[in-house]
Every structure is written in structure tokens, then in C-alpha cells.
Amino acid sequence: MQGRDGFFPEESDGARRWHWCGAKGTLALTNPSGHPRRATFRCLLGTYTPGPAHLRIDGAGLGEDLAVAPGMMPFEKEMVLPPGTHQVRFRCTAAPAQLHGRTLVFALYDPVLEAR
């Protein structure tokens, strides 16, 4: 997995790792094998600012509309991932916050792609 276009570099507190993102971001999921693989994508999701918001996730067999808020909401989805690299697009409606020269909207905590 690799964050692109909208995701900031990984941060960590020793127990957790996360990527903040603006209103839109793209994550690349890679299946290095030569055949489709069953996989599970897991993470925790949360916004920076309070208030109701929606997060849309599209690509690589994912098509999800989620209600998100501050804190860490678990997300888990099984998929069949074809060989190669696939783009997963995130769009979030949460209010943006400015912090240290960055516009933060939502975070992706502890992302894991587990192949079976």
C-alpha cells in the first residue's frame, strides 16, 4: 500500500501509524502475484473536525459510502485483487482544518492489506 495524491507522509506515536489526507486522496494497493488474490483491507478512519461527514471509497473492488466523525471508526472489506497495482480513491466531506501548513480532513489509521 502506498498513499498518493492528497495523503501526507506517515506519522506514528509508536503504537499507531496514520496518514492525514485532504478532501481527496488516492491509495495504491498492489498484488505482486501473477493471479487474482483474495484480500482483506482493514483500517481505522476518522475526521479532524467535529460534525457529520461522509467518506466515499472507490476502486479495487471497493465502493463504500461511510458516515465518519472524529475518533477511529473500524473499516474492513474483503475483495478479490487482480494482479498489479490498483488505485483506491477517497473523498471526504468533513470540514477542513489548517495545521502546520497542511489542510487536514480525514485520517487513515493502521492500514493493512492482508492477502489470503
| Residue range 59-103, pLDDT digits in tens | 998 999 999 999 999 999 999 999 999 999 999 999 999 999 999
Q: Which residue carries 498518493 as its cell?
A: 4
Share of the chain above pLDDT 70, in %: 97
Cα 103 to Cα 51: distance, rounded to the nearest angstrom: 17
Q: Which domains does the chain have, with CATH numbers?
A: 2-115 (2.60.120.260)
pTM for the whole structure: 0.91
